[in-house]
Structure 1
């Protein structure tokens, strides 16, 4: 808003601001809303009553009728009738900087002058004519709201956490060959069913001693955080890998072991790594056998 010495509303000597008022009044002849606007000079001490009176004078309206000043913020679909003693200038100073200067209607932050009915209700309600989605899109297009992200590398940051949005985000990332996504400290992996060149020593070095979430989600990031937490706390650490058959659990285990042995041995083809990887299939068979035995015992118990 432009500032100058106040010259109206009895507040001379104070910093003043230009408020643009948009009347939404139905004429008696056509019942069509009047669209002419006016500019009122006000200070921080100017009340809503002062601004309404100046607007009535500027627009040459019928002073015997009852008017209200309405603050419209199309982001969120807000329409707020100001009290008689409210300060419209204070309201404007809370708007985005770009909307403060001239606050045209297309920027989504402005004041409406409306007429009350005899019972105190308002004849014309602006926000009923515009859906919240349309209003938000307009504000984004004009730079008053940030553009929505194409995807989120942490599912906890989704603006609306629903199953549909979650799957849509994972699919969008998968199509860009981003197969890893965080859910807080949990790493979600989508099997690409092909090899991606993101597991070489360069990536091990890239994620070494980095805070989780600082870089793009990766299985090496999880391995690195676990390894350095063990060194720092001197406490055993555990990584749980779960998923459906064919989801890539074995391959994820291999990548984790590869990264852990690289960090500890400072070598990328060590005998320790080959030994652990070689024991993987044996451990999987033992786990599967134990799982089948447990299921068999449960079935026998049910039969009895």
Structure 2
């Protein structure tokens, strides 16, 4: 990058934008507040400016909510999020001036001590019946529950990831997705989830539509091979004793069942018998 380009990049970050923030509080307040911000300005900085301009109670906790298309998506911004970066993703007409009637703007709302949002207009909640969706958008605090895909955990940290896996394990749910990756926790006991009924259940289903299962991985690989006529590979990795060999057996069982359409065959026994010889120690 040349010095000229560097100077240009610095100037871009210093460009000021006018953000229209509409307080939606339980107390009477101004219809909206205009705050000047740059790309480096965080939502925490914007909230502080609004508090100062409107002379709000500093002892209360506030959050900044991004509204995209009124009645559509609304997201609570993290304290370190850049509101200007969000604005630059809006339609061009809404970037310079974004009145509330155009559907793209910011709300200022109070946060309760339990982490939930204090709504001044409760009809916003009535539009959304899926509590998990509210959690993902930041309107409700994340309570310990099991997410079958780790990518859906709202606040993804090492702690929440492990807690989610533990919560599922205690419910005998040993499989969890991380996108297209399947995480398996060895239960050190047999679970009745590997019979032909489960092979049929996961047959020709899109990954993630059903509860995570190793048969889902086998089925996707098998049908992708048939549709695209390209070899498929399933990588099994883990610590010693984690259940790699048993997972391989389940995969082979499912793949042979799919290929043989349920008819008995010696292929499965042959492959399984060769497993110990082929394993890399």
Tell me the TM-score normalised to structure 1 length. 0.52
Give the Cα–Cα distance (whole angstroms) in 2 for the partners of residues 205 and 75 of structure 1: 51
Partner deviation per Cα, 1:37-82 (whole Å, 9 max, x = no partner): xxxxxxxxx9779xxxxxxxxxxxxxxxxx9597xxx996249xxx
Correspondent of 2:198 among 186, 197, 203: 203
State the partner residue of 2:256.
261
| 2-structure distance, mates of 1:210, 1:75 | 45
Aligned CA RMSD, in angstroms, stands at 4.0
Gaps in structure 1 of 5+ consecutive residues: 1-18, 25-45, 50-66, 80-85, 97-107, 110-126, 289-304
Matches within 5 A, 1:22-171: 22=27, 68=54, 77-78=63-64, 134-136=114-116, 144=125, 146=131, 148=135, 150-171=145-166
Match of 2:277 among 271, 274, 282: 282
Mapped contact 1:179–1:192 kept (Cα < 8 A): yes
CA distance in 1, matches of 2:31, 2:159: 48
1:249 aligns with 2:244: yes
**CA offsets 1:58-107 (integer angstroms, 9 cap, x no match):** xxxxxxxxx9597xxx996249xxxxxx99985999899xxxxxxxxxxx
- Partner SS, residue 247 of structure 1: coil
CA offsets, 1:118-169, max 9 Å, x none?
Answer: xxxxxxxxx6xxx665351666xx8937354721111111112211111111
Contact kept in structure 2, 1:230 and 1:236, CA below 8 Å: yes
The answer for the alignment partner of 1:229 in structure 2 is: 224
Q: SS state of the match for residue 188, structure 1?
A: strand
Q: Is the 8 A contact 2:214 2:247 kept in 1?
A: yes
TM-aligned CA deviation for residue 224 of structure 1: 0.2
Summarize the Cα distance change of 1:193–1:88 in structure 2 as closer, same or farther, 3 Å threshold: same
- Conserved 8 A contact 1:156-1:184: yes
Relative to 1, partners in 2 of residues 1:283 and 1:76: Cα closer, same or farther, differing over 3 Å? farther
Task: Mark the runs of 5 or more structure 2 residues left unpaired by the alignment.
Answer: 1-23, 34-52, 66-96, 136-142
Q: Distance in 2 between matches of 1:224 and 1:211?
A: 9
- For residues 68 and 76 of structure 1, what CA distance do their matches in structure 2 show? 13
Q: CA deviation digits over 1:202-254, x for unaligned, max 9?
A: 00000000000110000000000000011111111110001000000000000
How far does residue 282 in structure 1 lie from its aligned partner after superposition?
1.2
Against the structure 1 CA distance between its residues 137 and 229, is the aligned structure 2 distance closer, same or farther, given a 3 Å change threshold?
same
Contact kept? 2:176, 2:182, Cα under 8 Å: yes
Equivalent residue, structure 1, for 2:177: 182
1:75–1:135 Cα contact (<8 Å) kept = no
Aligned pairs, how many? 190
* Cα distance in 1 between the residues matched to 2:234 and 2:98: 57
Note if contact 2:98-2:104 (Cα within 8 Å) is conserved in structure 1: no
| Residues 76 and 169 (structure 1), Cα distance of their counterparts in 2 relative to 1, 3 Å cut | farther
Say which SS state the counterpart of residue 116 (structure 2) adopts: helix
